[in-house]
């Protein structure tokens, strides 16, 4: 087995852009990613858009030259702590490599980066039916967000603008 290598994404590097789009498209095609691949328009725009975002942090996992995992993350701010936080927006591992520890290695790399940046926490969203991912997140220390158990856990909402 080829050793796993994790690289920080440079969206303007053609090799990284191809790898990012390949893994993200595979994730988008998966039922947990919506079941529909990325459009050609999204593929054409995304690397340049990510490169313009000063708070973007991407991590790619490679086995040899093959991209097998990805995290797209963005720095934010915890207003209650007055410190940065790192939101893990996309976490994807190629289907045939799931269960091989790639997700855990990517999460460890994201946590190391967040600690270097002085972040107070990592955040992410996950579908409650994605039991494998939920199990991994709990195993590495994530928990549902709640301020007071009597008030319940937070829920993630969205409102499309286009």
Q: What pLDDT score was predicted for residue 1?
A: 67
- Of 106, 157, 100, 125, the C-alpha closest to 33 is 125
Q: What pLDDT is stored for residue 119 in this prediction?
A: 98
Tell me the per-residue pLDDT of 62-82, one tens digit each, with 9 for 90 and over. 999 999 999 999 999 999 999
Kindly list the structural domains of the chain, giving each domain's residue range(s) and its CATH number in brackets, ordered by start: 4-141 (3.40.630.30)
Q: What is the predicted pLDDT for the residue at 2?
A: 82
* 138-162 tens-digit pLDDT: 999 999 999 899 999 998 889 989 8
Mean pLDDT of 26-30: 95
Beta-carbon contacts of 51 under 8 Å, excluding residues fewer than 6 positions away, are 10, 11, 12
Distance CA 25, CA 36 (A): 8
CA distances for 121 relative to 75, 84, 145, 153, angstroms: 10, 8, 11, 17
User: Residues 28-42: what's their mean pLDDT?
Assistant: 94
The per-residue pLDDT for 19 is: 98
For residue 38, pLDDT beyond 70: yes
Q: Can you list the alpha helix ranges (DSSP code H) found in the chain?
A: 14-29, 40-52, 102-116, 131-139
Work out the mean pLDDT of the chain and round it to a whole number: 96
Whole-prediction pTM: 0.94
Q: Per-residue confidence at 32, pLDDT binned at 50, 70, 90?
A: confident
> What is the per-residue pLDDT across 102-143, written as a single tens digit (0 to 9) for each?
999 999 999 999 999 999 999 999 999 999 999 999 999 999
Contact (Cβ atoms closer than 8 angstroms) between residue 11 and residue 47 = yes
């Amino acid at each position: 087995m080829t050793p796993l290598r994790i690289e920080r994404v440079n969206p303007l590097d053609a090799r990284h852009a191809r790898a990012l789009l390949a893994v993200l498209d595979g994730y988008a095609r998966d039922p947990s990613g919506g079941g529909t691949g990325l459009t050609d328009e999204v593929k054409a725009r995304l690397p340049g858009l990510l490169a313009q975002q000063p708070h973007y942090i991407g991590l790619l996992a490679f086995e040899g030259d093959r991209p097998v995992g990805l995290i797209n993350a963005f720095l934010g701010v915890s207003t209650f702590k007055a410190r940065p936080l790192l939101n893990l927006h996309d976490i994807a591992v190629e289907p045939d490599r799931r269960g091989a520890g790639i997700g855990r290695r990517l999460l460890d790399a994201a946590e190391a980066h967040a600690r270097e940046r002085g972040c107070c926490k990592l955040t992410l969203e996950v579908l409650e039916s994605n039991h494998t991912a939920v199990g991994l997140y709990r195993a590495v220390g994530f928990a549902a967000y709640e301020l007071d158990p009597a008030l319940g856990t937070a829920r993630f909402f969205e409102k499309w603008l286009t």
